[in-house]
Structure 1
């Protein structure tokens, strides 16, 4: 639902009831991930989407029925139709489970307050019951960014605390995903399946080296939704005018800046400096950080020499194994723009556990599920 939070919050402010359809489970290949929503208000206006077009019409009609008649939440499945290519179904071969529920836009309701949190830019996780007792289906509980408070209730205090902990774990990882909890007397007497919607700050891409390749990479990173920082110790090159797509341009020694920068498990660090006086102290620090990706530009010869210098600097083999160098996937890239695609392709492949090989040469599902954040199951 958070993919259309701005529009939904506007409907809430205008006191417009609406039906919310959310992708709560994906099997096989499907166009859009879990957590994606389509909403339809009482006037028949629709925002968002759940399938990229395959079953949009059928879901729209179901939303109209729910919002017009005030029906209880309903969960339904759409899958591939072999008999009729034009029938309601996913021609990509996957299956979608959709939860449709009516939302009353009263300001005191947890879902309305959750949408407000999300639209004001606050990190927010919303736990939505997508399977369980009928009286709990569609109910939400929201968690603030620091995890110290939550809003809403799913029943018992122990149950709420357990769900809040799971939601905060997903918020820390910056990932929307499904969680099953319950079945024990101490926390949740009833087993629940919850969809954790996450509105997290943009992940960071730290680019070191104010070169032409960095200009192209900062544009590609911004396109992918990263908050991009370009850092270089040379003020003549590290200027905002040279990097209009970067969120910030920093003039500082790379290793010194990295020592104060805020990073997390989604951060990508790209070292394009081509200079050992910058590379070695920077990579010595970067390879020990709990980030998603560390890549360094250079030839294979440069890479071998760099590894030896890093070993001399005391970097362990375990940490050296994390280094992606030469940086990027083998796309035959030559220009800065092509190289930026090569680098971001490798970042995506590592984050999504992709192989980097052409889909033509592989079999099985195209889309892989997100890795489950630590401590999300009881």
Structure 2
């Protein structure tokens, strides 16, 4: 739902009810991930999708039925089978499970503030019970890391454990599910919580104001990163060369350390060192490789890389720290131009983020990493199932 916050906020402000069908789990080649939503509002407008087209029509019908009738939260499961693949089955061979919820802004005071948080780039998590006892299904709690939350799952201890899970998801900027078992003593029946998060855009720091940096800044912005370009040479670090990026004139290692001290770096931050100059690269990498960031890459030939490793070892870096360095930076795409090189760097960043292999999909590697193997037939295709 949060991915459609900008559109839904307007409806919440006008008091327009709507139904969300939100993906809660996927298996196999299901095309959309948990948190993806299809929305139908009381005026008949449709937003988003949950399958890329395979079962969206059936989900749309279910949403309309909820708008017109029983508003009790319900679960839908769709999958693949030879008999139903041409009907409402997932032709790609995966399975998805969704929860349908009716939202009335007048009855849900948490809704409008949570959607506003997303549109104003403030971190927020919406936790929903998507599997469990009927008395709890669809209950919501909103968690904010630095401000009061809202809502309840029906029990103070359950709220506390939900807040703990939400905080962990917010730290990584991910959306997913958390299982609460009987052994946890928080509930009488096992529960599954869907944790939808929205966090400020992850940062990508590019050091070296060269043409490759300008191309990388454009691609990274398209991918949703907040980009900063830093160079000690004011002549090259001209803002007009890097539209959409913040431009800083400073020594790279000094700027990086100032950002770390200000706690503006986190586990999603990407650092790309394109300066290709030892007096900038070495002190910068010595700092970056010791920071808890997502990715550190450096441009240079293999000879430059080997010399750089020697110098960094002499500076006291361990083999474990040096193993974090992606150098020469990028995937082998046969890139020649700055734009192609930027694409190869961005491709490696995406592959690293999602544990991709970088090899052609036609070789048979899984298309959707992290998915479990799909069952040939699910218990009930497109039929509500009991939680």
**TM-score of the superposition, structure 1-length normalised?**
0.94
Q: How far did residue 116 of structure 1 move?
A: 2.8
Whole-angstrom distance in 1 between the partners of 2:257 and 2:38: 42
Maintained 8 Å contact 2:355/2:369: no
Q: How far did residue 145 of structure 1 move?
A: 3.0
Structure 2 match to 1:117: 117
Structure 1 match to 2:214: 215
Maintained 8 Å contact 1:150/1:164: no
Cα deviation per residue 1:93-114 (whole Å; 9 max; x = unaligned)? 1111111111111165333432
Maintained 8 Å contact 2:77/2:96: yes
Question: Which residue of 359, 368, 375 maps to 1:357?
Answer: 359
Q: How far did residue 86 of structure 1 move?
A: 3.1
Question: Which residue of 292, 295, 320 maps to 2:294?
Answer: 292
Q: How far did residue 136 of structure 1 move?
A: 1.4
Give the alignment of 1:193-208 within 5 angstroms: 193-208=192-207
Structure 1 match to 2:48: 48
Q: Which has the higher contact order (CA 8 A, sep 6+)?
A: 2
Whole-angstrom distance in 2 between the partners of 1:65 and 1:286: 54
Whole-angstrom distance in 2 between the partners of 1:27 and 1:186: 29
Maintained 8 Å contact 1:30/1:96: yes
Residues 1:103 and 2:103 are matched in the alignment: yes
Maintained 8 Å contact 2:40/2:60: yes
Structure 2 match to 1:39: 39
Query: Any unmatched runs of 5+ in structure 1?
Result: 371-378
Give the alignment of 1:304-323 within 5 angstroms: 304-323=306-325
Structure 2 match to 1:277: 279
Whole-angstrom distance in 1 between the partners of 2:5 and 2:104: 15
Structure 2 match to 1:235: 234
Whole-angstrom distance in 1 between the partners of 2:98 and 2:225: 29
Partner SS for 1:34: coil
Whole-angstrom distance in 2 between the partners of 1:275 and 1:16: 58
Q: How far did residue 364 of structure 1 move?
A: 4.1
Whole-angstrom distance in 1 between the partners of 2:111 and 2:91: 33
Whole-angstrom distance in 2 between the partners of 1:325 and 1:160: 45
Whole-angstrom distance in 2 between the partners of 1:252 and 1:189: 58
Structure 2 match to 1:127: 127
**TM-score of the superposition, structure 2-length normalised?**
0.91
Q: How far did residue 365 of structure 1 move?
A: 5.0
Q: Residue 94 and residue 57 in structure 1: after superposition, are their counterparts in 2 closer, same or farther (change >3 A)? A: same
Whole-angstrom distance in 2 between the partners of 1:328 and 1:363: 20
Residues 1:253 and 2:251 are matched in the alignment: yes
Q: How far did residue 185 of structure 1 move?
A: 6.7
Whole-angstrom distance in 1 between the partners of 2:367 and 2:111: 33
Maintained 8 Å contact 2:35/2:196: yes
Q: How far did residue 5 of structure 1 move?
A: 1.1
Cα deviation per residue 1:328-359 (whole Å; 9 max; x = unaligned)? 01111111111111111111111101111111
Whole-angstrom distance in 2 between the partners of 1:304 and 1:44: 61
Greater shift after overlay, 106-115 or 237-246? 106-115
Partner SS for 1:87: coil
Cα deviation per residue 1:150-196 (whole Å; 9 max; x = unaligned)? 21111111111110111011001100011011424753343210111
Q: How far did residue 220 of structure 1 move?
A: 0.7
Maintained 8 Å contact 1:126/1:197: yes
Cα deviation per residue 1:183-241 (whole Å; 9 max; x = unaligned)? 24753343210111000010000000000000000011001100000000000000111
Structure 1 match to 2:370: 368
Deviation beyond 4 Å, 4+ runs, structure 1: none
Whole-angstrom distance in 2 between the partners of 1:183 and 1:120: 38
